[in-house]
Amino acid sequence: MRTLLGIIALILLVIGIATKGQADEAFWGGCIRMGVMLGIWWFAYPQVQHVPRWLAVTGGITILVVALRPKLVFYAIPILIVLWFLRPRTPGRRRAPAD
């Protein structure tokens, strides 16, 4: 999957750079932007695999809401921070008290 992301990012960047000035500005600009975003995703892919599912869903919903109503960013960011601190905890090993 990571290799595929890298290949698609490179292809989009090459297409965007090759058609700059020849094609419609929206086309080559979109290719460059998507290539850069996929390149960033390719670079962060190992860390993204360990993001909790609830955080990915809430983050996606937050991005969608802020994209539709940009003024809500001042409410959305603090809500995400509060949700991060109130997140579900997975039971793990407890540390032994220090003597």
Do 6 and 42 belong to one domain? yes
| Same domain, residue pair 7 and 43 | yes
Assigned domain for 57 exists: yes
| Straight-line distance from the first to the last Cα atom of the chain, in angstroms, rounded to the nearest whole number | 48
Compute mean pLDDT per 10 residues along the chain, 99 residues long, and list them: 89 89 82 90 84 79 85 83 76 60
Structural domain total, the chain: 2
**What pLDDT does residue 47 have?**
82
98 lies in a domain? Answer: no
Q: Which domain range does residue 25 map to?
A: 2-47
pTM here is 0.56
- Note the residue count of the chain: 99
Helix axes 73-85 and 53-68, enclosed angle (nearest 10): 170
The reported pLDDT for the residue numbered 11 is: 92
Residue 99 lies in a domain: no
